Amino acid sequence: MNRSLSQPADPAKRLILAAVCLSALVLPLSFSGGAVATPAIGRDLGGDAASLTWITNAFMLSFGSLLMAAGALADQFGRKKLFVFGLGGFIVTSLAMSFAPSVVGLDVLRALQGVAAAASLSSGAASLAQEFDGHARTRAFSLLGTSFGIGLAFGPLMAGVLIGQFGWRSIFAVIAAIGAVAFAFGVPRMRETRDPGATGLDYPGTVTFTATLALFTFGVIEAPERGWGSAPVVALLAASALFLAAFVVVETRAKRPMLELGLFRYPRFVGVQILPVGTCYCYIVLVVMLPLRFIGAEGLSEMDAGLLMIALSAPMLIVPMAVASLTRWLSPGVLSGIGFLIAAAGLFWLSGVDFAASRGALVAPMLVIGVGAGMPWGLMDGLSVSVVPKERAGMASGIFSTTRVAGEGIALAIATAILAALAHAGLARTVAGGTMASDGPGIDARIAEAAQRMTAGDVSHALAALPEVGRAALRASYAEAFTSLLHVLIVITLLSAVATFAFLSRAPAQDDEPGSRADGEARADVAVNA
């Protein structure tokens, strides 16, 4: 029997939905707020450029790599039980971070926070799938996606206000408080559900998948400083490739794998996974890297940077809901592809703006990017709901969320490495063509250090590493590198548009979806057309 928001249990379900959405809200708040706080944390606690980079990447790595495992655990041991563990752990680690004594200690806590976030999100999403059916279920997941958008939209501004008034530590205290509110309202009303067919955690799959992401991310982060051809970096990337191969073998042979690789035979399943990857490069990368540039290179305060970031993130409050109504006339795949094209146009516009000349000139292209990214963002959660049967809701949420979050972590690591490499090349040209001695003591190491510091938004330490270049030359080299990075993001976004049109523009055929029984087709139609 279909349950909907209009039935007698409606008030309790609404509170559960509100609690899960509130718990989802604090995840991007923690992500984007931590990015804005990185320069302030560096000024307060010190730390090298790599350790500052891990403030964001440690969270994203553990979060993304454990989402599928968390979904399987939720199916086996109970969605409510894992939600309590995950949200409770998130609150505790967030509060502990407000007392962190060092950058390394903060990095460790961020990794633990990511573990708790994975448990919270997977179990919360799976619980919603059990509470709601049909159109109500699609609306619930749409609100879940909107919650992410709100967190991303207001995270930089919230962080800027808090840093300006109370310091960076207050960000994590406030996040803990919001999580506590979600815990108090949601947990008492949530019912326990399990998958009776769950067989336990796929430990070999979990270990090999986590190792793949960890080694790859670590190798990419270390590459700008050590060099892509250095033995440690090559060893890390090679080990990552080996673990990836092992993961594929393990999942192919597992009786009930963490990730059913056979799903990739279905074009629409592949297309759904492309959507979060594309939004990573046209939107998420900018959510992290623009504040670092505004604060570090352009000298804006955290609050001013947060206000400026609203131009990028505010469309996430409107566009995801508005675009859903357009599915009456255009397919979600076509709308998503159009969104990527709009975002690519905004990126191209932004690449031609002089950041130092006028802050107002940045607003329009950032709005265009936000509108474009918001179109697939508002559709991909609904599209992902019908990937697997309802009974495998933990896996369903885990697969899509893993693609989204792991993709974000990988995209950030790659974009940071590209920017650092471009900044390094620009500084090397400046040194070689200037009046300073290009063969001074440790010049190559100092150029690499300055490039990494600039990438992390730490101008003062970049100047300390390369004082002979001067602030103006550092900013010019960084601006040139950032423009080149935007060109790379344009290409990736355009490729995402092409792939989206190819895989998702047509209506699903009778045999185009996994497990294409009538019930599965009905859920797919609801997810697409709601």
Do both 304 and 428 map to the same domain? yes
Q: What is the pLDDT of residues 181-193, one digit of tens each?
A: 888 877 776 777 6
What pLDDT score does 349 carry? 96
Mean pLDDT of 251-257: 77
What pLDDT score does 219 carry? 87
Rounded to the nearest 10 degrees, how much is the dihedral formed by the CA atoms of 314, 320, 325, 328?
A: 140
Residue 38, phi then psi, degrees to nearest 5:
-55, -50
Do both 220 and 146 map to the same domain? no
What pLDDT score does 9 carry? 47
The first and second tokens of residue 213, run together, are 């992401």
391 or 10, which is more confident: 10
Residue 452 lies in a domain: no
What pLDDT score does 379 carry? 79
Residues ≥6 apart with Cβ < 8 Å to 371: 315, 319, 339, 342, 343, 346
Do both 431 and 319 map to the same domain? yes
Q: Is 134 helix (H, G, I), strand (E, B) or coil?
A: helix
Whether pLDDT at 503 is above 60: yes
What pLDDT score does 273 carry? 82
Contact, 526 vs 135, CB < 8 A? yes
Do both 114 and 50 map to the same domain? yes
Residues ≥6 apart with Cβ < 8 Å to 434: 468, 469, 473
Residue 266, phi then psi, degrees to nearest 5:
-95, 120
Residue 74 lies in a domain: yes
Our count of domains for the chain comes to 2
Do both 35 and 154 map to the same domain? yes
Q: 352 exposed, middle or buried (CB, 10 Å; 0-12, 13-18, 19+)?
A: exposed
Q: What is the pLDDT of residues 293-324, one digit of tens each?
A: 888 778 888 888 888 988 998 888 888 878 87
298 or 105, which is more confident: 105
Q: Among 221, 242, 257, where does a domain finish?
A: 257
Mean pLDDT of 249-277: 77
Q: What is the pLDDT of residues 38-96, one digit of tens each?
A: 888 888 887 777 788 888 888 888 887 787 777 777 777 777 888 888 889 999 999 99
Residue 229, phi then psi, degrees to nearest 5:
-95, 0
What pLDDT score does 327 carry? 77
Q: Among 257, 281, 303, where does a domain finish?
A: 257
Alpha-carbon distance 358 to 376, whole Å?
Answer: 30
Alpha-carbon distance 294 to 376, whole Å?
Answer: 27
Lowest mean pLDDT among 32-36, 106-110, 350-354, 431-435: 431-435
What pLDDT score does 13 carry? 75
Residue 460 lies in a domain: no
**Which residue is listed with tokens 């540039």?**
293
Residue 464 lies in a domain: no
| pLDDT band with cut points at 50, 70 and 90 for residue 478 | confident
Q: How many CB atoms lie within 10 A of CB 479?
A: 18
Residue 21 lies in a domain: yes
Residue 181 lies in a domain: yes
What pLDDT score does 156 carry? 79
What pLDDT score does 432 carry? 74
What pLDDT score does 263 carry? 66
Per-residue HEC secondary structure of 280-340 comes to: HHHHHHHHHHHHHHHHHHCCCCHHHHHHHHHHHHHHHHCHHHHHHHHHHCCCHHHHHHHHH
Do both 207 and 186 map to the same domain? no
Do both 79 and 19 map to the same domain? yes
Residue 234 lies in a domain: yes
Domain range for 226 is 202-257
What pLDDT score does 506 carry? 64
Mean pLDDT of 449-473: 78
Contact, 202 vs 69, CB < 8 A? yes
Do both 366 and 486 map to the same domain? yes
Q: What does the mean pLDDT of the chain come to?
A: 79
Contact, 66 vs 115, CB < 8 A? yes
Alpha-carbon distance 437 to 248, whole Å?
Answer: 51
Report which residue type is found at 344: A
Q: Is 101 helix (H, G, I), strand (E, B) or coil?
A: coil
401 or 530, which is more confident: 401
Per-residue HEC secondary structure of 222-250 comes to: HHHHHCCCCHHHHHHHHHHHHHHHHHHHH
Do both 295 and 209 map to the same domain? no
Q: What is the pLDDT of residues 150-208, one digit of tens each?
A: 777 778 788 888 888 888 899 899 989 988 888 887 777 677 766 666 666 677 888 88
- pLDDT above 70 coverage of the chain, percent: 82
Q: Among 257, 272, 301, where does a domain finish?
A: 257
Helix spans in 132-230 (H): 134-166, 169-186, 203-226
Q: DSSP for 41-61?
A: HHHHH---HHHHHHHHHHHHH
Whether pLDDT at 493 is above 90: yes
178 or 143, which is more confident: 178
Residue 196 lies in a domain: no
| pLDDT band with cut points at 50, 70 and 90 for residue 472 | confident
Do both 215 and 277 map to the same domain? no
Provide the CATH number for the domain around residue 179: 1.20.1250.20
Contact, 90 vs 115, CB < 8 A? no
Do both 246 and 282 map to the same domain? no
Do both 308 and 228 map to the same domain? no
